[in-house]
Structure 1
Amino acid sequence: RRGGDFSSIADLARRARLSVAHTQALAAAGACDCFGLTRRQAQWQAGVAATEQPGMLPGLSTVQAPPLPGMNAFEIAVADIAATGITPGMQPVSLVRGHLADIGAVPARELSGVADGTRIRTGGVVTHRQRPRTAGGVTFLGMEDETGLINVIVSPGVWDKHKHLALSARALIVRGKVDNGSGAVSVVADKLEPLPLGDWLSAGSRDFR
């Protein structure tokens, strides 16, 4: 990098000519952690630091953030998703695994060991929705949790019953029967429920492509 490593948020904002919004977004996403600041401290500094412009004497806008509480794992994941749509190093469903365990939800990696035809619950982030013309109105949901992928088959009747939720939810709890007779594991849904994590996700699924 021309001029060497960035020494502070103010130095980054000045040399990269970042706006206040851009600087605050980087701070929220954790890009300023390298300056030894917590995310809340970085966001606190970002607005002022971004007023530095090329030609100004460096450091004029440098401010010391007051003591601020750090973010817990959930708050960091929420900030990551809001800023970038992903959570580096952490799959969002892991944050609610305790809730899923309480209701007996089966993780993706364990579905292959469930007897064919067993009714179970499972939960995950919706990654895509597909309805092939040759499928007779059946919709295929792709979901994932922190252990793997989940294939869900939704009949026209179940889809119509839960249409709003099925179309809008970014994360779901699915109740249905395991179909692993062919070796490819799927869950044939008979009920869809909201998974609270969906309220925190900003990145949408890939639908009907």
Structure 2
Amino acid sequence: GSLQLGLRFLRGISEERARDFVAQRQDLLRSRKQAGNNAMLSSHSNSPGENVGSLLDLHDVIALCDCFYAHEKILLAQANCFALYDSNRRNILWLLIARPSALMPDVDHVLFPEKPTLHEAWDNMQDDFASSESTFGPHPMLLLRNIGWPYAFPVENVTPAMALKKKRHKTQVVVAGLIMVRQMPGTAKGMLFITLEDETGTLNLVVRPDTHARYKEWMTNTSVLCVRGWVQENGPNPSVLVTEVLPAVNQKNLPGAPPDQLERDYTLW
């Protein structure tokens, strides 16, 4: 199955213009359905009516988007709102921004070449975070490991979450992942607990007050952490006692970086 998210999920879309778009789409669907029903009656067809996906094509939906401002059209393309018709977001962005006119009658025939799969997924991930602060594609850590590793520490020596269970107590490891949860209970005497997630699972970090004070900036203002520490046995789910936070040498590659800082290889466009 699949989950359909509404336009409210996107950051920066006007509710008024979103409602206008939905109303116009419903009107167009209603007229197409009526035309289809009349055609079936006149031909005495017993086949079921067309589904909604076949009633509106890509250019119908693109035309309906004229109610949005330019920056909203960019968000719609970034958020992959047209995946039903074309998963190449650059094609969609071009169609939205450069609608055919007397000066440019053939712009709807311009198609961008596909990029290598991982690079396409990388751009899509960055666009997802820019438009909705989440992504439904490959896990960001999988992409970071393969094409955008932002740390000086060798990626092949980073221990995945799933492999942490095989490490012995007090083994030194380097782990990395998206920050999912930060907790500092009042009864923990200044201890900070962080849950990271990579493409293999979750892992827990334990941070002493002095370590937290030393690396507070990184632990507070980044979406991804790469840390060095010691494995602490705790039943089936060991944790890592953090001794050092490894700084990102290329912060532009971190998910959620400001759009003007995103690292892109334009030679592949």
TM-score normalised by L of structure 1: 0.79
Is 1:143 paired with 2:196?
yes
Between Structure 1 and Structure 2, which shows a larger proportion of strand residues?
Answer: 1
Give the direction of change, closer, same or farther, for the CA distance of 1:67–1:182 in structure 2 (3 Å limit). Answer: closer
Do 2:126 and 2:256's aligned partners in 1 also have CA atoms closer than 8 Å? Answer: no
Hey, what's the Cα distance between the residues in 1 that align with 2:130 and 2:114? 18
Give the direction of change, closer, same or farther, for the CA distance of 1:37–1:125 in structure 2 (3 Å limit). Answer: closer
Is 1:194 paired with 2:247?
yes
Is 1:95 paired with 2:143?
yes
Deviation at 1:194, TM superposition (A): 3.1
Is 1:7 paired with 2:57?
yes
Question: Residue in 1 aligned with 2:215?
Answer: 162
Hey, what's the Cα distance between the residues in 1 that align with 2:197 and 2:254? 16
Please show how residues 43-62 of structure 1 align to structure 2 within 5 Å: 43-49=93-99
Give the direction of change, closer, same or farther, for the CA distance of 1:65–1:171 in structure 2 (3 Å limit). Answer: farther
Q: From 112, 115, 137, give the equivalent of 2:165.
A: 112
Secondary structure class of the residue paired with 1:194: coil
Please show how residues 169-208 of structure 1 align to structure 2 within 5 Å: 169-195=222-248, 196=250, 199-202=253-256
Query: Once the two structures are aligned, what percentage of the paired residues are identical?
Result: 24
Hey, what's the Cα distance between the residues in 2 that align with 1:184 and 1:101? 25
Between Structure 1 and Structure 2, which shows a larger proportion of helix residues?
Answer: 2
Q: From 5, 25, 36, give the equivalent of 2:75.
A: 25
Q: Which sections of structure 2, spanning at least 5 residues, go unmatched?
A: 1-25, 33-51, 100-104, 258-269
Question: Residue in 2 aligned with 1:52?
Answer: none
Question: Residue in 2 aligned with 1:54?
Answer: none
Give the direction of change, closer, same or farther, for the CA distance of 1:39–1:181 in structure 2 (3 Å limit). Answer: closer
Do 1:151 and 1:185's aligned partners in 2 also have CA atoms closer than 8 Å? Answer: yes
Structure of greater Rg: 2
Deviation at 1:77, TM superposition (A): 1.5
In the TM superposition, what whole-angstrom CA distance separates every residue of 1:71-100 from its partner, at most 9, and x where no partner exists? Answer: 422112211221222221311000122457
Q: What CA RMSD, in Å, does the superposition of the two structures yield over aligned residues?
A: 3.0
Secondary structure class of the residue paired with 2:204: strand
Question: Residue in 1 aligned with 2:128?
Answer: 80
Query: In the alignment, residue 180 of structure 1 is paired with which amino acid?
Result: E
Do 2:125 and 2:137's aligned partners in 1 also have CA atoms closer than 8 Å? Answer: no
Secondary structure class of the residue paired with 1:153: strand
- The structure whose RCO (Cα within 8 Å, separation 6+) is larger is 1
Secondary structure class of the residue paired with 2:110: coil
Runs (4+) of structure 1 moved beyond 4 Å?
98-101, 195-199
In the TM superposition, what whole-angstrom CA distance separates every residue of 1:37-62 from its partner, at most 9, and x where no partner exists? Answer: 6211211121245xxxxxxxxxxx98
Secondary structure class of the residue paired with 2:90: helix
Do 1:10 and 1:62's aligned partners in 2 also have CA atoms closer than 8 Å? Answer: no
Secondary structure class of the residue paired with 2:246: strand
In the TM superposition, what whole-angstrom CA distance separates every residue of 1:110-151 from its partner, at most 9, and x where no partner exists? Answer: 111100110100000111211000000000011100010110
Give the direction of change, closer, same or farther, for the CA distance of 1:65–1:38 in structure 2 (3 Å limit). Answer: farther
Aligned length: 195
